[in-house]
């Protein structure tokens, strides 16, 4: 399909007396045309009738569109005999032009400036005065006048003062490349502008959502563009003709209503006016989607069409029914309150129901209902059931042995003592306080506070105080000594980081980070300048003032919000910055990308452990593990060989199994670890398998009995099979892959089978494993680092 290109022209003013240069083509309205001259149809609107003979009453042979090329055989008395589109006939000569419309070649003139007038008359009012060399766009020419656009204004100028070449040059005017303006429209992240139209081409620039681009051409799903002063190619599917959040973009909040007329139909009009044209007629009871309401008119969508209707004829209740508007579900806010471990959220109110997610102490949940000891809750964007007795109305404080929840500004540091010695962790900030643990050199600790020479820290599952002088922020080169070996494998995925971020944003990965949050002005009913309540349902607060920012989380009808400021948003609306006091919220695209990007962690001695392949054994020294890790660990003491056997049998990293067992058994001292009687037999459970909330001891023991775990060794080896089956045997054999599952994202294009919703989960799990390796002198590690396109 050919594109119609309207060229630009320049008019010229010469220093000599005005002259007229003869055009090489035939005159525009010649009385006699040369035999078989080529001319063009020139009509301002509609089409030109080609008739059987040279008379207005003759029958019409064909209708010729503007710009149609015709062959002229003769002209007489205002009629031209022509051939066009394979047919012969007659047309009025006044609608023929020697040049194709929009491609005129004219003359230059003498002095002064050129008046652009309101119409094609010398007496018409002057719209603008154009100086020599001004570039103009010519739409049409008739009776010595050209309809033009110049300097952003439309008007008419005399054709004899236009030239196809810029004054002072002999070159022919270059026809400008036809371009269109579009905008980057990505749901998250940025759009890659590449050197050529290929996914493998090098990236020239990254364009943010809403960036204005000039499109030169589109082909095979790629657009050639200019943006921010650079040329390149982008995928056409991420471009839109209107700026995201403006123009034709539908406002975020919509409501459903119904047409309610006593008789006849309701007119849906093109705009909010009684005089606007009718788009459609809507019958009583028609369901409509309402985008906005203003001055008695509602902007709606109905039956696939957009338009406006009078708000007087809309109702929230479908006519002819007795239904009432739905009342928002009443919820209360509570907090997970477990003394150790985590709380299982299940898909049904039963201890045997499958676990949807594990909730840490202090996590805020919305309670929908409570019945028979179970609470139906909403957490992390999903719904499920938890044991009611592990919820509290107030947020619990920190518990010894767990990372304190809610303490800000934590950081990693490392024990810095001589090899062979250790640092005492004490119960209080005093050299006389009891010793909780001894930390070897290079142990990673989380520091919560520092005061008077003491640091409050967590390490190896315990919380206490250590002397600040024996901590350093400088990371060691790696755990343990130089006897350990590390093999690196790079695993390539047919995914861009941009796509991976898009996939994960779609499932609302969670974070406990605090963001500035905003709600659009029409989502609040103001109480005063600092307080407002949410108006209706379906509203969410966003991470910036505009609907193009990500949704941080939902708010409920009539929820009270504290207003901090009011700003004009990127979409033209006013937005209120409000306090949003949720513990866990949807992460921003930037934070999502940070946690997804392996380059941010692979060179960190601790956080790089999220890439350790847990399906490969460590080849650990049994004696070394017994002496340095399992010594003093209750029933697990001396069991290194059993962990080695379990790892080799089921393909699980032994240190990972030991870490898991130490956590679940309280360092080998829990009742399930030390033995429970079931049907007269003593059973053991080292990994908490089948230990359901509220009945952990009895249900965990029953699982062990059914599995035949009648010795500690049987429990260590048998439990390893259970651990391997869930994720490791499925190919998710690193903490990174457990959390993000890039293989599923690559295969299906969406997130699937992910262990946690916390975007920082993988990096939060590694400290214990790192510290165990720090106790060893000999080991073998294989790390698998994802590589995205």
Q: What is the mean pLDDT of residues 42-69?
A: 85
* 324 within domain boundaries: no
Is the pLDDT confidence value at 327 over 60?
Answer: no
Average pLDDT, the chain: 80
Number of domains in the chain: 7
Q: Say if residue 774 is in the same domain as residue 678.
A: yes
Q: What is the mean pLDDT of residues 751-765?
A: 85
pLDDT on residue 36: 53
Residues of the chain by 3-state class (helix, strand, coil), percent to 5: 15, 35, 45
- The closest of 439, 440, 445 to 473, measured between CA atoms, is 445
Phi, psi angle pair for 313, to nearest 5°: -110, 25
Is the pLDDT confidence value at 172 over 50?
Answer: no
* 490 within domain boundaries: no
Joined together, the tokens standing for residue 740 give 């993000």
Q: Are 376 and 385 within 8 A, CB to CB?
A: yes
pLDDT on residue 167: 63
Q: Are 507 and 751 within 8 A, CB to CB?
A: yes
Is the pLDDT confidence value at 329 over 60?
Answer: no
The lowest-confidence range among 40-44, 321-325, 470-474, 577-581 is: 321-325
Q: Say if residue 194 is in the same domain as residue 282.
A: no
Which segment, 88-97, 217-226, 712-721, is predicted with the most confidence on average? 712-721
Q: What is the mean pLDDT of residues 196-203?
A: 81
Q: What is the CATH number of the domain that holds 382?
A: 2.30.30.40
pLDDT on residue 100: 67
pLDDT on residue 543: 94
Q: Say if residue 653 is in the same domain as residue 683.
A: yes
Query: Rounded distance, CA 606 to CA 187, Å?
Result: 33
Query: Rounded distance, CA 641 to CA 624, Å?
Result: 11
pLDDT on residue 724: 86
Q: Collapse the DSSP code of 154 into the 3-class scheme (helix H, G, I; strand E, B; otherwise coil) and give the result.
A: strand
Q: Are 660 and 667 within 8 A, CB to CB?
A: no
Name the strands in the sheet holding 180-184, side by side, starting at the edge strand that comes first in the sequence. 203-207, 191-194, 230-235, 222-227, 212-219, 180-184, 239-240
Q: Say if residue 23 is in the same domain as residue 155.
A: yes
Which segment, 151-165, 357-371, 467-481, 660-674, is predicted with the most confidence on average? 660-674
Is the pLDDT confidence value at 282 over 50?
Answer: yes
Q: Say if residue 527 is in the same domain as residue 675.
A: no
State which residues form the domain around 431.
Answer: 411-472
pLDDT on residue 666: 84
Is the pLDDT confidence value at 326 over 70?
Answer: no
Q: Are 392 and 401 within 8 A, CB to CB?
A: no
* 80 within domain boundaries: yes
* 399 within domain boundaries: no
Is the pLDDT confidence value at 673 over 60?
Answer: yes
The lowest-confidence range among 153-162, 451-460, 611-620, 628-637 is: 153-162
Q: Are 146 and 104 within 8 A, CB to CB?
A: yes
pLDDT on residue 428: 92
Percent of the chain scoring above 70 in pLDDT: 85
Domain boundary among 240, 263, 292: 240
Which segment, 69-73, 260-264, 297-301, is predicted with the most confidence on average? 297-301
pLDDT on residue 483: 54
| Complete DSSP assignment for 726-764 | IIITTT--SHHHHHH-HHHHHHHSS--S-S-SBTTHHHH
Task: Return the number of other C-beta atoms located less than 10 Å from residue 522's C-beta.
Answer: 15
Q: Which residues does residue 525 pair with via DSSP β-bridges, in sequence order?
A: 533
* 485 within domain boundaries: no
Which segment, 48-57, 368-377, 560-569, is predicted with the most confidence on average? 560-569
Q: Say if residue 149 is in the same domain as residue 200.
A: no
Q: Say if residue 749 is in the same domain as residue 687.
A: yes
The lowest-confidence range among 30-39, 302-311, 650-659, 680-689 is: 30-39
pLDDT on residue 642: 95
Q: Say if residue 657 is in the same domain as residue 555.
A: no
The total number of residues written for the chain in this structure: 789
Q: pLDDT grade, residue 693 (50/70/90)?
A: low
Q: Say if residue 461 is in the same domain as residue 601.
A: no
Q: Say if residue 295 is in the same domain as residue 437.
A: no
pLDDT higher at 128 or 676: 676
Q: What is the mean pLDDT of residues 580-602?
A: 92
Q: Which residues does residue 369 pair with via DSSP β-bridges, in sequence order?
A: 376
Domain boundary among 126, 161, 196: 161
Q: Say if residue 116 is in the same domain as residue 216.
A: no
* 25 within domain boundaries: yes
Phi, psi angle pair for 343, to nearest 5°: -105, 125
Q: pLDDT grade, residue 251 (50/70/90)?
A: very low
* Residues 706-751: tens digit of each pLDDT: 999 999 999 999 999 988 887 888 889 999 998 999 999 999 999 8
Is the pLDDT confidence value at 20 over 70?
Answer: no
Q: Cβ contacts of residue 119 below 8 Å, gap of 6+?
A: 156
- 664-703 residues labelled b (16+ CB within 10 A) or e (exposed): bbbbbebebbebbeeeeebbbbbbbbbbbbbebeebbbbb
Percent of the chain scoring above 90 in pLDDT: 27
pLDDT higher at 397 or 769: 769
How far is residue 428 CA from its own chain's centroid?
A: 46
Q: pLDDT grade, residue 102 (50/70/90)?
A: low
The lowest-confidence range among 118-127, 499-508, 527-536, 667-676 is: 118-127
Is the pLDDT confidence value at 402 over 60?
Answer: no
Q: What is the mean pLDDT of residues 428-442?
A: 89
* Residues 350-382: tens digit of each pLDDT: 888 877 777 777 777 888 888 888 999 887 657
Is the pLDDT confidence value at 754 over 80?
Answer: yes
Query: Rounded distance, CA 156 to CA 143, Å?
Result: 11
Q: Say if residue 623 is in the same domain as residue 733.
A: yes
pLDDT higher at 72 or 18: 72
Identify each DSSP E strand in 493-548 by its residue range: 510-511, 517-520, 524-528, 531-534, 540-542
Q: Are 81 and 54 within 8 A, CB to CB?
A: yes
Is the pLDDT confidence value at 9 over 70?
Answer: no
* 482 within domain boundaries: no
Query: Rounded distance, CA 335 to CA 740, Å?
Result: 26
| Complete DSSP assignment for 167-236 | TT--SPPPPPPP-EEEEE--SSS-EEEESSSSTTSPEEEEE-TT-EEEEEEEETTEEEEEETTEEEEEEG
Domain boundary among 421, 451, 472: 472
């Amino acid at each position: 399909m050919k594109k119609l290109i309207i060229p630009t022209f320049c008019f010229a003013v010469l220093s000599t007396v005005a002259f007229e240069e003869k055009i090489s083509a035939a005159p525009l309205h010649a009385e006699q045309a040369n035999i078989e001259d080529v001319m063009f149809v020139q009509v301002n609107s509609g089409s030109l009738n080609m008739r059987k003979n040279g008379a207005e009453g003759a029958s019409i042979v064909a209708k010729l569109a503007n710009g149609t090329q015709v062959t002229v055989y003769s002209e007489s008395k205002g009629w031209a005999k022509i051939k066009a589109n394979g047919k012969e006939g007659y047309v009025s000569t006044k609608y023929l032009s020697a040049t194709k419309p929009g491609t005129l070649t004219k003359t230059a003139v003498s002095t002064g400036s050129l008046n652009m007038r309101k119409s094609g008359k010398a007496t018409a009012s002057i719209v603008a005065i154009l100086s020599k060399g001004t570039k103009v766009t010519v739409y049409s020419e008739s009776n010595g006048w050209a309809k033009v656009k110049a300097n952003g204004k439309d008007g008419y100028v005399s054709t004899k003062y236009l030239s196809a070449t810029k004054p002072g040059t002999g070159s022919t005017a270059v026809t400008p490349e036809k371009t269109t303006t579009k905008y980057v429209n990505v749901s998250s992240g940025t759009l890659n502008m590449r050197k050529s139209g290929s996914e493998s081409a090098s990236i020239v620039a990254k364009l943010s959502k809403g960036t204005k681009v000039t499109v030169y051409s589109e082909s095979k799903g790629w657009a050639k563009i200019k943006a921010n002063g650079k040329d390149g190619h982008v995928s056409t599917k991420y471009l839109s003709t209107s700026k995201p959040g403006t123009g034709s973009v539908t406002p975020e909040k919509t409501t459903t209503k119904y047409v309610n007329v006593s008789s006849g139909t309701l007119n849906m009009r093109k705009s909010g006016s009684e005089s606007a044209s009718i788009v459609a007629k809507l019958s009583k009871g028609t369901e409509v989607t309402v985008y906005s309401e203003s001055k008695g008119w509602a902007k709606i969508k109905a039956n696939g069409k957009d338009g406006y209707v009078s708000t007087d004829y809309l109702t929230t209740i479908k006519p002819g029914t007795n239904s009432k508007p739905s009342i928002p579900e009443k919820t209360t806010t509570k907090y997970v309150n477990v003394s150790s471990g985590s709380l299982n959220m299940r898909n049904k109110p039963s201890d045997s129901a499958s676990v949807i997610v594990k909730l840490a102490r202090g996590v805020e949940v919305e309670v929908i209902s409570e019945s028979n000891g179970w609470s139906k809750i909403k957490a992390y964007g999903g719904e499920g059931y938890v044991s009611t007795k592990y919820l509290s109305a107030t947020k619990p404080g920190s518990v010894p042995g767990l990372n304190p929840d809610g303490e800000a500004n934590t950081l990693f540091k490392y024990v810095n003592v001589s090899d062979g010695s250790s640092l005492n962790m004490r119960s209080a900030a005093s050299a006389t306080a009891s010793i909780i643990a001894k930390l070897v050199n290079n142990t990673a600790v989380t520091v919560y506070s520092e005061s008077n020479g003491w640091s409050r820290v967590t390490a190896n599952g315990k919380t206490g105080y250590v002397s600040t002088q024996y901590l350093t922020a400088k990371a060691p080169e790696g755990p343990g000594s130089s006897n350990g070996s590390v093999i690196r494998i790079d695993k390539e995925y047919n995914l861009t980081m941009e796509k991976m971020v898009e996939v994960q944003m779609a499932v609302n990965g969670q974070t406990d980070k605090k963001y500035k949050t905003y709600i659009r002005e029409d989502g609040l009913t103001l109480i005063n300048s600092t307080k407002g309540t949410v108006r209706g349902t379906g509203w969410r607060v966003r991470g910036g003032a505009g609907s193009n920012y990500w949704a941080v989380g939902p708010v409920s009808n009539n929820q009270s919000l504290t207003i901090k400021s009011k700003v004009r948003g990127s979409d033209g609306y006013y937005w209120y910055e409000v306090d949003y006091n949720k513990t866990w919220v949807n992460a921003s695209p930037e934070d999502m990308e940070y946690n997804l990007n392996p380059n941010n962690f692979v060179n960190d001695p601790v956080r790089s452990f999220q890439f350790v392949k847990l399906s490969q054994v460590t080849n650990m020294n049994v004696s070394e593990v017994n002496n340095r890790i399992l010594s003093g660990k209750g029933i697990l003491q001396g069991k290194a060989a059993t962990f080695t056997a379990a790892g080799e049998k089921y393909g699980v990293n032994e240190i990972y199994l030991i870490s898991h067992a130490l956590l679940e058994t309280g360092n080998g001292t829990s009742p399930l670890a030390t033995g429970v009687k079931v049907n007269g037999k003593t059973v053991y459970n080292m990994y908490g398998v089948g230990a359901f909330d509220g009945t952990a001891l009895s249900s965990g023991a029953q699982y062990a009995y059914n599995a035949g775990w009648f010795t500690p060794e049987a429990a260590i080896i048998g439990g390893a099979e259970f651990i391997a089956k869930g994720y490791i045997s499925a190919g998710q054999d690193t903490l990174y892959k457990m959390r993000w599952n890039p293989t599923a994202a690559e295969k299906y294009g969406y997130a699937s089978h992910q262990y946690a919703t916390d975007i920082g989960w993988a990096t939060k799990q590694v400290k214990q494993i790192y510290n165990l390796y720090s106790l060893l002198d000999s080991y073998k590690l294989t790390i698998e680092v994802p590589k995205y396109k």
